[in-house]
Chains A and B, each alone.
Chain A
Amino acid sequence: MVVIGAGMIGAACADALATRGMRVAVVDRGPVVGGTTGAGEGNLLVSDKAPGPELELAVESLRLWGELAGELGARALEYEPKGGLVVARDQRAFAELRASAELQRAAGVTAVDVPADGLREWEPHLAPGLAGGVHYPQDAQVQPALAAAALLRRARATGRVDLLTATAVTGLAKGRVETDAHGTLHCGAVVNAAGTWGGEVAALAGATLPVLPRRGFVLVTEPLPPLVRHKVYAADYVADVASGSADLQSSAVVEGTAAGPVLIGASRERVGFDRSLSAPVLARLAAQAAELFPVLRDVRVLRAYRGFRPYLPDHLPAIGPDPDRPWLLHACGHEGAGIGLAPATARLIAQLLDGEKPFMDPAAFGPGRFEKEES
């Protein structure tokens, strides 16, 4: 097997395939976690997902993350099952939030309504005047670069996995992967785990997959004493994620880290692969975070980083065989949820390659779903 991409998804796929006894080459044109994985926050969320196939995938994936933390050690992944707290600014937003939590509960998510006067018990520094919130104990966090490296390390320890970094794929055909640094790799199947660049990889095989970059910034504050205990975000975030607009959306997602700095996301813009810093976006994120946590108003930001989420038009990942090329399996396009969804994505890919019955119906993730409109 050849896995293209040494990010979180590629690492999880390599681990899942090697565990089943398959021989795997992981190929990446850059280093390990050189793309979106290295620029993420490491969100493992069920809270932001509406009932449906993505939530089903997320629930299984978060269960698998818990297992991985048990096997590899929580410290090796900086796994923190800290839970999420979604807050609503006004009564209308709170009513909507409670209604969506009700639907999530029916889909197997644990969600606990928190009245306005109970919020400070969960987060002592939250702004006064919020209408209420919902607590999601399943939400968790990993350090994505560490987690991907840990999975790749375990995969390589089987002796069945080669890691070829600084190796670009230049051609793809059934049974053959052409590379610039290691010649032709012969294989039974190819897994396209190239994330935001998954569309380019698909194109090498003559396939179409409309993955687009959706830029996001993260602010990093100076190290602080523990102020923020959960992943805390405003209910507007869910609408931002679901928006199809190319324009800027932003809503504060605030969380503390083990090392001390507070991380502040999350902006979304479709501006291609433009890496330039946008001061207005950073200012807006900072203001929104200070609105949720007034204590952050006097805290300084040390730096900001940005990454490009792999966006597919219907916000669902592509997981499964290419419609016209059964030897090419796509596992990309997870937008901002790839870290959280990686273990279950890898499990689906491994089950499909093994001819086993998948743990859930992957039809909604079928890479062929974008073809209809074109033909």
Chain B
Amino acid sequence: MRRSPLDLVRARPEPPIEFSFDGEPVAALPGQSVAAALWQSGRLAWRRTRVGDRPRGAFCGMGACYDCLVELDGVPNVRACLAPARPGALVRTQQGDGHDELR
């Protein structure tokens, strides 16, 4: 059986919320970051690099490395590890610098 850190601290979280990632529903517990929720849903990558189009996800997980950038509600370059998951948020994979509109 998989152990959950929630059991370890005997957490009693509020009911889960839902946001969308590339059009698919993702469940998150209140207080979780976007990165944590995506990770929990089995997704490890949510950005493609500017050079080489390579997959990227959470690396440091604490706001320092800027690897986990994602497009959140239309705004690119948001650090998924710091952004709280909010009900109904529209999260999308970020392509490159996320600023195609400036090209």
Contacts and interface: CB of A to CB of B under 8 A. Distances in A.
Given A260-B50, A302-B66, A225 B99 contact: yes
B66 A224 contact: no
A302 B65 CA distance: 11
A223 B102 contact: no
Contacts of A222: 76-77, 97-99
Interface centre among A223, A224, A295 (most CB of B within 10 A): A223
A223 B100 CA distance: 12
Interface residues of A, number: 9
A69 interface: no
Interface string A223-240: 111010000000000000
B3 interface: no
A295 B101 CA distance: 11
Chain A, interface SS category: loop
Nearest to B101: A225
B97 A227 contact: no
Contact of B103 (A223, A225, A300, A302): A225
Contacts of B66: 302
A295 B102 contact: yes
Interface in B67-103: 76-77, 97-100, 102-103
Contacts, number: 23
Contacts of B100: 225
A225 B97 contact: yes
Interface string A204-230: 000000000000000000111101000
A260 B98 CA distance: 12
A224 B96 CA distance: 9
A228 to B, nearest CB: 11
B45 to A, nearest CB: 18
A224 B102 CA distance: 8
B30 to A, nearest CB: 26
Contact of B50 (A223, A227, A295, A300): A223
A155 to B, nearest CB: 31
A169 to B, nearest CB: 35
B77 A225 contact: no
B77 A227 contact: no
Nearest to A223: B97
A223 B103 CA distance: 13
A12 B98 CA distance: 39
Contacts of A300: 77
Interface in A141-191: none
A355 to B, nearest CB: 50
Contacts of B102: 224-225, 227, 295
Contacts of B98: 222
Contacts of B50: 223, 260
Interface in B4-26: none
Interface in A261-303: 295, 300, 302
A220 to B, nearest CB: 11
Interface centre among B66, B76, B99, B103 (most CB of A within 10 A): B99
Contacts of B77: 222-223, 300, 302
B78 to A, nearest CB: 9
B66 to A, nearest CB: 7
Interface of B: 50, 66, 76-77, 97-100, 102-103
Given A222-B98, A223-B97, A302-B66, 20 more contacts: A222-B76, A222-B77, A222-B97, A222-B99, A223-B50, A223-B77, A224-B97, A224-B99, A224-B102, A225-B97, A225-B99, A225-B100, A225-B102, A225-B103, A227-B102, A260-B50, A260-B97, A295-B102, A300-B77, A302-B77
23 contacts: A222-B76, A222-B77, A222-B97, A222-B98, A222-B99, A223-B50, A223-B77, A223-B97, A224-B97, A224-B99, A224-B102, A225-B97, A225-B99, A225-B100, A225-B102, A225-B103, A227-B102, A260-B50, A260-B97, A295-B102, A300-B77, A302-B66, A302-B77
Interface of A: 222-225, 227, 260, 295, 300, 302
Question: Which 5 pairs, one residue from A and one from B, show the smallest C-beta to C-beta distance?
Answer: A222-B77, A223-B97, A225-B103, A225-B102, A224-B99
